[in-house]
């Protein structure tokens, strides 16, 4: 495979953005889990596991909004 310097730089920048997005997602999960999931543990989760946890968090946030209960 042959790539130009610009293509390589663009690819590396994409990887950097993806890496930052994953870290952001994991840290948000840790915050919502209130210590029930550590950052180290979250780094070991598969994509599917992260998606399931994110869905559970979204459902719980929606329930909290509908019920009017405070979210801490």
58: pLDDT confidence band, cut at 50, 70 and 90?
A: very high
72: pLDDT confidence band, cut at 50, 70 and 90?
A: low
3-state secondary structure at position 71:
coil
Nearest to 33 by CA among 19, 10, 52, 14: 52
pTM, full prediction: 0.77
3-state secondary structure at position 37:
coil
- Report the mean per-residue pLDDT for the chain: 92
Tens of pLDDT, residues 14-49: 999 999 999 999 999 999 998 899 999 999 999 999
Asked if 45 and 22 count as a contact pair (C-beta separation under 8 A), the reply is no
Q: Which two tokens stand for residue 45?
A: 């989760």
Which residue did the predictor score with more confidence, 17 or 62?
17
């Amino acid at each position: 495979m042959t790539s130009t310097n610009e293509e390589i730089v663009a690819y590396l920048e994409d990887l950097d953005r993806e890496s930052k997005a994953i870290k952001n997602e994991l840290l948000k999960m840790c915050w919502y889990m209130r210590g029930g999931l550590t950052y180290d543990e979250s780094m070991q989760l598969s994509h599917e596991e992260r998606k399931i946890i994110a869905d559970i968090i979204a459902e719980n946030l929606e329930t909290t909004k509908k019920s009017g209960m405070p979210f801490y």
